[in-house]
Amino acid sequence: MNWEDLLSLKRYGDTHKRLRKEQDETRLGFEVDYDRVIFSAEFRSLQDKTQVIPLSKTDFVHTRLTHSLEVSVVGRSLGRKVGQKLLEKYPYLQTVHGYQANDFGAIVAAAALAHDIGNPPFGHSGEKAIGEFFRNGNGAKYKAQLTDKEYQDLCDFEGNANGFKILTESRSGREGGLRLSYATLGAFMKYPKESLPKKPTKHIVDKKYGFFQSEKDVFMDVATDLGLLTRGDKGEVRFSRHPLAFLVEAADDICYTIIDFEDGINLGLIQEEFALEYLINLVRHSINTEKYNALQNTQDRISYLRALAINTLINEAVELFMANEEAILKDEFPQALLDKSRFEAQISDIIKISIQNIYESSEVIDKEVSGYEVINGLLTAFTDAICNTANGTASNYNKLILKMLPETVQSSQVSTYDSLMAVSNYISKLSDSNAILTYRKLRGDYI
């Protein structure tokens, strides 16, 4: 891979190459990507989607929206710092092509802003609920009508692949979706492969998958334009990662490690004294003891340590990226950046206590169980309505239910796969509260 291709400004439908030197510096293409994501309806719905605590009414607990904004800020810093070092290493990128350090920051910031845009309601349990419906629930009856890869898309419904669908899916008057630059789409794609084969290697890019069969063509166009390396055997669609995807992943890892931990402390799920010890172990080399001791309350102490921890891990990720940059370009770096961090033990300790005290707390589990029931109910009603309509067996109830769906979903009956994916995608875009409200309507509780 080479950086000139990887920094492609191409957008869906372009018939000529966009050159960096011809860009308007006040309206840079990579910055337009950020704007298009933040003004999208799908991004706005993240304000009422679970990050850690489902349906939390507490002001200081993060939603997917606040988490995404914070990941984007961290990603921007990572990108700028790496960009500065890359331009020193490859000066032709600046002198010949006109790229600036801030370009790298803008790409990573936009991709990081969008990194959770495909996540369904109720956090990762929402993904699992959709998959469970098609694997073992009412949706299993459609298996015979689908190819193996189409069925796997649904059985392992993946927020990353759904995000790529949201960003790129064409519809009337909106060809190419948000029409983001291919560099940003590349940085967004943490898992550049299709759903099968499942986890063919232990390489980080094979951990999950990054696109549905419905977006295979656009994915191939993006991967080819960027010059990503092919990895799969004959007949498989698997590619190397865009190098900047490692920075998007690092930004997400930094934020959920530190900030989810902070949420747990503020909620009282983790004792302050215990938590402070964990954070201090991570920032011991940079803490100003006098300043820290002057802080009078838990929130200020945690905020101070959080800021130090994030800064520490940003600098660590930049060092790791540059030390392994050539291996990354050759697809010879098989793990996440922070997996090689000298702070790996401290990070693991924080994640372990977060799992025990936050992610597996009774409050989270109780609401995730409710989320399963809601998503199963929505999928049952809507898939029956759209598929029965398509095969001419719709009941009056099915016809009424169909009218609850947007026109874009009602008209998606090209194939069973397209219909099922359209319904799943529609449900995935619902906020937590809207999913519950819609479910109540179906149960008659709304009257």
Q: Average of pLDDT values for 240-267?
A: 93
pLDDT of amino acid 413: 67
pLDDT of amino acid 108: 98
pLDDT of amino acid 105: 98
Mean pLDDT for the chain overall = 92
Most confident of the following: 86-90, 118-122, 354-358:
86-90
- Between CA 244 and CA 410 the distance in angstroms is 38
Percent pLDDT > 90 in the chain is 74
Q: Average of pLDDT values for 79-105?
A: 97
pLDDT of amino acid 260: 86
pLDDT of amino acid 56: 53
pTM recorded for the entire structure:
0.95
pLDDT higher than threshold 70 for residue 52: no
Q: Average of pLDDT values for 396-403?
A: 94
pLDDT of amino acid 53: 59
Give 352's pLDDT tier (boundaries 50, 70, 90): very high
Most confident of the following: 61-65, 360-364, 376-380:
376-380
* pLDDT per residue as tens digits for the range 165-199: 999 998 877 889 999 999 999 999 999 999 999 99
> Looking at 27-31, 112-116, 158-162, 309-313, which range is the least confident one?
27-31
Q: Average of pLDDT values for 117-145?
A: 95
* pLDDT per residue as tens digits for the range 222-242: 999 999 999 988 888 999 999
